[in-house]
Amino acid sequence: MGDAFREILRRARQQVPEWTPTQVNEALAHQTGSTPDDDAFVLVDVREKIEWNEGYIPGAVHVPRGHLESQIEEVVPDKSEKVVLYCAGGVRSLMAATTLQQMGYKNVISMAGGFGQWKGGGYKFTLPRTLSDAQSKRYSRHLLVPEVGEKGQLKLLDSKVLLIGAGGLGSPSALYLAAAGVGTIGIIDADTVDDSNLQRQVIHTTERIGQYKAESARKAINDLNPDVKVVTYIERLDETNVQKLVDEYDVILDGTDNFPTRYLLNDAAIIANKPVVHGSVFRFEGQVTVFKPYDGPCYRCLYPEPPPPALAPSCAEAGVLGVLPGIIGLLQATEAIKLLLNIGEPLVGRILTYDALAGEFNEIRPYHNPQCPACGENGHPENLPTYGDVCAVPARS
């Protein structure tokens, strides 16, 4: 250590108060007591990521010294609030404290001896959950996005998404949710792969014609990302299984194209308070929206009763441009990730429509019916008809 640095350190100690690890521990214990007090403070760890991964003081927030000036105001916006900084040995935190004082923070303290002395004193510390080296490499582009980062990626790995159907909409959704690292993907589909599916259901292959779609999708997902657990249900969604399935997942992606299943799913999701990312396609047109219970209209608000089957043909009857389900399915996957990470503005109370021929996106704001029998003030979603006896039940898209 040179003379110049010793002088800088001496001056820093003159202007920055220091607490011992014992004082910090006692202050933390007092702060987490049942009675709030005026001695509350924010504990900030200014070490590098590799040091943080080796353990940190419970309750601390991580703001590496190299990013302190750019990030501290997001963590501590009130510059009159007390801030206690610590590093490995007490030097970097002292320098960081002088920087905060220059930025206008009025009450900054450095922990003498740093984390090394904290551990040496036998005080509790936490080992953070971190991504493996392989995961850090796989999801490296997510880690660079502030709205995702390592914390968000771990949240995705802990998340569960249920796909209703592994057809035109479910195929791209499944692939991109798997690539993003959604930890558990459930797929319910009783159909088998047919050669007519391959024009748009890109998760399947010629070699897997005749196999169950759910199993075909599982193989594709496992080949893409071994981090993902795929749970398959070779059955149709009906009154006997819908509530149990919806209860087990965080977000539901609706890839069906028949009204009875949509009504059934809508009502079960309201009961379970789970969001449904709805998508539909028809020839050159598609749409996507999010039905979030009690935070916007539900499916029954849009369609109190189903139209006649002749006015709502399936893809098998009316046809669809092969790339269109890919566009809508990717939008569904995007909305699911936003919901899982609680970021952005999901399409709640908004329907995004896409006209492939015109190359135009438009937005519709549907009406939320306060008297809706499913989500209204006096709604009873458990007692509503699904119109299975009056609707045709065509194949999935």
CATH number for the domain that contains residue 259: 3.40.50.720
For residue 75, the model assigns a pLDDT of: 93
Q: How far apart are CA 183 and CA 177, in angstroms?
A: 9
Which residues form the catalytic set?
A: 315
CA distances from 21 to 11, 84, 87, 238 (A): 22, 11, 12, 59
Q: Say if 148 falls within a structural domain.
A: no
pTM: 0.81
For residue 102, the model assigns a pLDDT of: 96
Residues 115 and 163 in one domain: no
- Number of separate domains in the chain: 2
Q: Which residue among 96, 120, 144 closes a domain? A: 120
Question: Token pair for residue 117?
Answer: 């002395």
What domain range is 169 assigned to? 159-383
Q: Which residue among 93, 120, 147 closes a domain? A: 120
Residues 357 and 245 in one domain: yes
Residue 242 sits at φ, ψ, to 5 deg, of -60, -45
With tokens 């006209």, the residue in question is 355
With tokens 């087990």, the residue in question is 248
The ranges of the chain with pLDDT < 50 are 34-36, 390-396
For residue 56, the model assigns a pLDDT of: 97
Count CA within 13 A, CB hemisphere, residue 253.
35
Residue pLDDT, tens place only, 137-175: 999 999 999 899 999 999 999 999 999 999 999 999 999
Please, which residues have CB within 8 angstroms of residue 292's CB and are 6 or more apart in sequence? 275, 276, 339, 346, 348
Please count the other Cβ atoms lying within 10 Å of the Cβ belonging to residue 223: 9
Please count the other Cβ atoms lying within 10 Å of the Cβ belonging to residue 89: 15
How does DSSP assign 254-307, residue by residue? E----HHHHHHHHHHHHHHT--EEEEEEEBTEEEEEEE-TTSS--HHHH-SSPP
Is the CB of residue 118 less than 8 Å from the CB of residue 125? yes
For residue 27, the model assigns a pLDDT of: 94
Q: Say if 153 falls within a structural domain.
A: no
Q: Say if 273 falls within a structural domain.
A: yes
Is the CB of residue 47 less than 8 Å from the CB of residue 115? yes
Q: How far apart are CA 159 and CA 118, in angstroms?
A: 35
Q: Say if 147 falls within a structural domain.
A: no
Task: Tell me the β-bridge partners of 45.
Answer: 62, 86
Is the CB of residue 287 less than 8 Å from the CB of residue 354? yes
CA quadruple 110, 115, 116, 119: dihedral sign:
positive
Residues 10 and 112 in one domain: yes
* 3 state DSSP class of 24: helix
Question: Tell me, what CATH number does 30's domain have?
Answer: 3.40.250.10
For residue 268, the model assigns a pLDDT of: 97
Please, which residues have CB within 8 angstroms of residue 18's CB and are 6 or more apart in sequence? 90, 94, 109, 110, 111, 112
Q: Which of 172, 177, 140, 187 shows the shortest CA–CA distance to 156? A: 177
Residue pLDDT, tens place only, 66-123: 999 999 999 999 999 999 999 999 999 999 999 999 999 999 999 999 999 999 999 9
| Torsion angle, alpha carbons of 244, 235, 317, 320, to 10 | 70
For residue 38, the model assigns a pLDDT of: 61
